[in-house]
Amino acid sequence: MKVRIDPERCQGHGRCYDLAPGLFVDDEEGYGTVLGDGAVPPGKERDARRAAANCPERAIDVLEE
Ligand code: F3S
């Protein structure tokens, strides 16, 4: 599984890195970015889906692989 943030849609609400700090971080302007290449480590799948479901801009894609 992988996560991805669409920078066109992200408005910096910050729920992703609050809810799943193991998967997302904030950049210097408060926008969300994925950690590393966005690969979701085993056991973090629920966090990934929760972050995606809680992004008000629907900017997070969860890619099942
Ligand atoms: Fe951006 Fe959504 Fe996170 S708007 S900062 S991807 S909660």
pLDDT band for 65, please (50, 70, 90 cuts): confident
Mean pLDDT estimate for the chain: 97
Determine the topology of domain 2-63 in CATH: Alpha-Beta Plaits (3.30.70)
Give residue 65 CA to ligand 1 midpoint distance, Å. 22
Rounded to two decimals, the pTM is: 0.94
Q: Domain ranges in the chain?
A: 2-63
Q: What is the ipTM of this complex?
A: 0.98
Select the more confidently predicted residue: 65 or 47.
47
52 C-beta closer than 6 A to ligand 1: no
Q: Which long-range contacts (CB under 8 A, 24 or more apart) does 31-37 make?
A: 31/5, 31/7, 32/5, 32/59, 32/60, 33/5, 34/3, 34/4, 34/5, 37/2
Taking only the tens place, the pLDDT of each residue in 16-33 is 999 999 999 999 999 999
Q: How confident is the model at residue 3 (pLDDT cuts 50, 70, 90)?
A: very high
Q: Which atom of ligand 1 is nearest to the CA of 11?
A: 4
